[in-house]
Amino acid sequence: MLFSLSVSPCCPSAAGHMSELSCQSSAVSLHQGGLLLEFTETHGGAPDASSSSGIGSFVEFSFSQEPQDSVTVRGGVLQLDCQAQSDAGAGPPLLTWRKDGVMLSAVVDERRQQLANGSLLVQNIVHSRHHRPDEGEYQCLATLDGLGTIVSRTAKVTVA
């Protein structure tokens, strides 16, 4: 699945009129598991191939590993893996987790911890007739300064 969006912000000149020379065009393509950005400076509506600032560049930001559906048992251990990558040169993305649309915090539940590689580890799975705090839908979020955040596929966790 691929979605595209083109954005062309233009800056007004000192006289308050739109200046075609200050316009920039960028395209954002969203695809499953990632984000691809293209930046191209334009002059008069056409890409400026004669200027080094007019050369388009692409930045890939995507998941190399996404969490998978899982079935676990009461008292067991659950590990959901997630890894993201980018060629933006801004360092590794910050990975966070949410369950059923709510951000997770290891401070709230000491049974949960995020491993150094970004994976989510839940120990001593809890499950009873009326209390199922570990069952649900989990998503990994990867954030990279200057690019934004991408969201992984939804992994459904069931406790048998």
Query: DSSP character for 22?
Result: G
Structure tokens given for 50: 């004669």
Q: Which helix (H) or strand (E) holds 120?
A: strand 120-122
pLDDT at 138: 98
Average pLDDT over residues 102-129: 91
| Bigger pLDDT: 106 vs 51 | 106
- Cα 76 to the center of its chain, rounded Å: 29
Rounded to whole angstroms, the Cα distance separating 59 from 143 reads 14
pLDDT at 33: 53
Task: List Cβ neighbours of 91 (8 Å cut-off, separation of 6 or more).
Answer: none
- What CATH class does 64-159 carry? mainly beta
pLDDT at 3: 39
Average pLDDT over residues 99-127: 92
Residue 139: how many other CB atoms lie within 10 Å: 20
Q: What is the pLDDT of residues 3-62, one digit of tens each?
A: 333 333 333 334 443 333 333 334 454 445 555 555 444 445 544 444 445 456 678 899
76: confidence class by pLDDT, cuts 50, 70, 90: very high
CB 75 within 8 A of CB 111: no
pLDDT at 27: 47
Rounded to whole angstroms, the Cα distance separating 81 from 88 reads 23
pLDDT at 62: 95
Q: Where are the domains of the chain?
A: 2-55, 64-159
Structure tokens given for 118: 């970004």
pLDDT reading at 87 higher than 80: yes
- In sequence order, what DSSP letters do the residues of 62-89 get, joined into one string? EEEE----EEE-TT--EEE--EEEESSS
